[in-house]
Amino acid sequence: MNLKLKHMKFKKITSILAESYNGNSMSVFDIDDTLVVTSAKIKVYDPLSGDEFSLTPAQYNDYERKPQHKLDFTEFDDGDILLKGRPIEWVVKILVNTMKKQKAVGIITARGDKQIILDFLNKHGININPAFVFAIGDPKSKYTGDNAQKKQQAFEDLIAMGFKDFKFFDDNLENLKYAKDLEKKYSDVKVITKHIQSKWIPKFEDEQ
């Protein structure tokens, strides 16, 4: 089956998902520093200097990576760390209120394990359709490029499902930009972006 036919088949099968909700709109949320703050950090190693340091997700957003830097995201694959994370309550409230209106909610995260995301949401009484949860960091994922490009491709899968009107909540401006750019590619798609700024996010240690 060629790629075009495969996409058409996917669109035909999944378009009924959007029809089962109240309209073709969807609110999409990132996970880290958008819905939850955790102790997970990105470890950076410089083999030239021997330096090692760690970055929070907020620090990683502004981090200028050098070519020799080796990055370790292992802590973001640890389900226990995520389960111990503290929800960012006011953003979670937006998500829950959206679901109460029978409107669709999705998750697009740079994390690589979809199941631990579902486990975290279930722990807090949030039952999202698993078809709307995208862990674009999964090494088995079909998505390519950097995180912003991969998230854009996940949005295109949601568009193929029949969704056209999006609100996207994310703490990374590049991710928001790429999502907004979909309006240029699809004339019937609207994307409203909501930047979750670091000044609104408590430090994890402050939440203990």
- Average pLDDT of adjacent 10-residue blocks, the chain of 208 residues: 43 48 88 94 90 87 86 90 93 94 94 95 93 94 94 97 96 96 96 88 55
Tell whether 132 and 189 lie within a shared domain. Answer: yes
Tell whether 67 and 143 lie within a shared domain. Answer: no
How many domains is the chain partitioned into structurally? Answer: 2
Nearest CA to 27 among 153, 167, 158? 167
Structural domain boundaries, residue 162? 18-37+87-207
Q: What is the CATH number of the domain that holds 97?
A: 3.40.50.1000
| Tens-place pLDDT, residues 54-81 | 888 888 888 888 889 898 888 998 999 9
Residue 191 vs residues 26, 82, 194, 195: alpha-carbon distances, Å: 10, 28, 10, 13
Tell whether 65 and 149 lie within a shared domain. Answer: no
Tell whether 108 and 188 lie within a shared domain. Answer: yes
| pLDDT for res 9 | 43
Tell whether 157 and 180 lie within a shared domain. Answer: yes
pTM of the model: 0.83
Tell whether 111 and 159 lie within a shared domain. Answer: yes
Tell whether 57 and 127 lie within a shared domain. Answer: no
Nearest CA to 34 among 78, 112, 89? 89
| DSSP labels, 38-94 | -S--EEEE-TTT--EEEE-HHHHHT----TT-EEE-GGGG-HHHHHTSEE-HHHHHH
Cα Rg of the chain, angstroms? 17
